[in-house]
């Protein structure tokens, strides 16, 4: 059974020049690619690279592809090309000769070093070629995505992780209506992020197996299922509220401190009291300080604090030493014999 076709994906068996020649001028938003440069150490792969493509390209040869790509980019278009440390200087020169300016370097941290002895490589680079009107990229120039680990001989030899393509597509701010092209498509990984964001993607390769692999990989990116995780919304997060509250207000520290305490308790904290707007003025609003000062003291104590007395304006007191506040709280009382 053949894979379901994605109408926004087009992968062709074609050289880079032929693929770019089939596209209209000023039509590409982002050209992103990992070209088959000869600065890659092929001796350590036991001929595995030659099973997929016979020969690599020098950076002057790749530069001619970049020159053609510059004519196909929109006024705000951007080119992203990968290279390793050995080819970094030549790759920058190829971009400059192709007419790109303001070249920036993004470092890809592969999170583990490559194989071999000596000073091993844990990073590769993405060169950004810009034009005078190119869009501004968003993000940082260090991308940390785990590389694809060693696999079987049938795996594409220089496969990149899907996550790298997602990061670069987000930096270039591609989306529905954008055209993203990879003329050396390989495994298709660098186009996954653009396809997930709703862009139309076009890729080409001279290796038939690479075309089949990329076509199968990108066909799985559905029109609705491909939104990147950074753009997905999971709905409004649940609000943590006190049990039984219908207002949806988050539970306060005071509420959590005394779960299940009756509302008429005489030891209600100040924070809990303030949380109940509309509470009658005659309710018990004993301050925390006063409560802590006399825990369990009978209400008839002869040393009732001023704060506690003011909270019960209408209650007669058994104290023999009424506070000034208590006397002021009863303006309608007939004055007694003066002392």
pLDDT band at 231 (very low <50, low <70, confident <90, very high): very low
Give the torsion sign (CA, 273, 274, 275, 281).
positive
pLDDT of residue 62: 97
Any domain includes 112: yes
**181 exposure class (CB count in 10 Å sphere: 0-12, 13-18, 19+):** buried
Within a domain: 14:
yes
- Residue 102 belongs to what H/E stretch? strand 101-109
pLDDT at residue 177, as a whole number: 96
Domain annotation covers residue 215: yes
Region 319-331 average pLDDT: 45
- Asked if the structure places residue 324 within a domain, the reply is no
Query: Residue 161 sits in a domain of what CATH number?
Result: 3.40.50.150
pLDDT in tens, 277-306: 444 444 444 444 434 444 444 444 444 444
Task: Tell me the per-residue pLDDT of 232-252, one tens digit each, with 9 for 90 and over.
Answer: 333 333 343 344 444 444 444
Q: What torsion do the CA atoms of 314, 320, 324, 329 make, to the nearest 10 degrees?
A: 10
Can you spell out the DSSP letters for 1-58?
-PPPPPTTEEEEE--HHHHHHTSPTT-EEEEEE---BTTS--GGGTTHHHHH-S--B-
Burial classification of residue 254, based on how many CB atoms lie within 10 Å of its CB (0-12 exposed, 13-18 middle, 19 or more buried) = middle
Crossing angle of the two packed helices 189-196 and 208-219, in degrees rounded to 10: 30
Give dist(CA 68, CA 76) in Å, integer.
16
With H, G, I as helix, E, B as strand and everything else as coil, classify residue 85.
Answer: helix
Domain encompassing residue 18? 9-222
Q: How many structural domains is the chain composed of?
A: 1
Instruction: State the pLDDT at residue 46.
Output: 47
Please give the model's pTM, rounded to 2 decimal places.
0.63
CA atoms of 3 and 14, how far apart (whole Å): 21
pLDDT digits (tens, 9 = 90+) for 12-22: 999 999 999 99
Q: Mean per-residue pLDDT for 124-152?
A: 91
Between CA 14 and CA 27 the distance in angstroms is 19
pLDDT tens for 255-284 read 444 444 444 444 444 443 444 444 444 444
Of 146, 204, 145, the closest CA to residue 170 belongs to: 145
- 153: which 2 tokens? 């001989």
Is there a domain that residue 45 lies in?
yes
The answer to whether position 294 is within a domain reads no
Residue 201 domain flag: yes
The yes-or-no verdict on residue 197 having pLDDT over 70 is: yes
* 43 assigned to some structural domain: yes
């Amino acid at each position: 059974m053949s894979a379901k076709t994605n109408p926004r994906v087009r992968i062709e068996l074609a050289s880079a020049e032929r693929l770019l020649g089939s596209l209209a001028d000023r039509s590409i938003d982002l050209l992103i690619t990992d070209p088959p440069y000869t600065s890659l150490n092929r001796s350590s792969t036991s001929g595995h690279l030659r099973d997929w493509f016979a020969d690599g390209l020098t950076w002057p040869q790749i530069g001619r592809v970049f020159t053609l790509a510059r004519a196909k980019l929109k006024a705000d278009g951007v080119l992203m090309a990968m290279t390793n440390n050995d080819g970094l200087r030549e790759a920058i020169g190829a971009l400059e000769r192709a007419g790109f300016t303001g070249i920036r370097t993004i470092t890809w941290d592969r999170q583990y070093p490559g194989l071999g002895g000596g000073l091993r490589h844990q990073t590769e680079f993405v060169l950004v070629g810009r034009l005078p009107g190119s869009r501004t990229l968003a993000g940082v120039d260090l991308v940390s995505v785990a590389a694809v680990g060693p696999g079987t001989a049938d795996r594409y030899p220089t496969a990149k992780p899907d996550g790298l393509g997602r990061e670069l597509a987000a930096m270039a701010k591609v989306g529905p209506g954008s055209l993203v092209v990879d003329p050396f498509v390989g495994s298709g990984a660098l186009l996954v992020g653009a396809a997930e964001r709703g862009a139309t993607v076009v890729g080409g390769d001279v290796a038939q197996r690479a075309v089949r692999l990329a076509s199968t990989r990108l066909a799985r990116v559905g029109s609705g299922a491909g939104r990147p995780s950074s753009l997905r919304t999971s709905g409004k997060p649940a609000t943590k509220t006190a049990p039984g509250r219908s207002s949806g207000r988050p539970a306060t520290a005071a509420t959590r401190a005394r779960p299940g305490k009756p509302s008429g308790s005489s030891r209600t904290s100040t924070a809990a009291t303030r949380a109940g707007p509309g509470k009658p003025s005659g309710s018990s609003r004993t301050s925390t300080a006063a409560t802590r000062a006399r825990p369990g003291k009978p209400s008839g104590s002869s040393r009732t604090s001023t704060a506690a007395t003011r909270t019960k304006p209408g209650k007669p007191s058994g104290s023999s030493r009424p506070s000034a506040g208590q006397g002021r709280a009863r303006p309608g009382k007939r004055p007694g014999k003066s002392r």
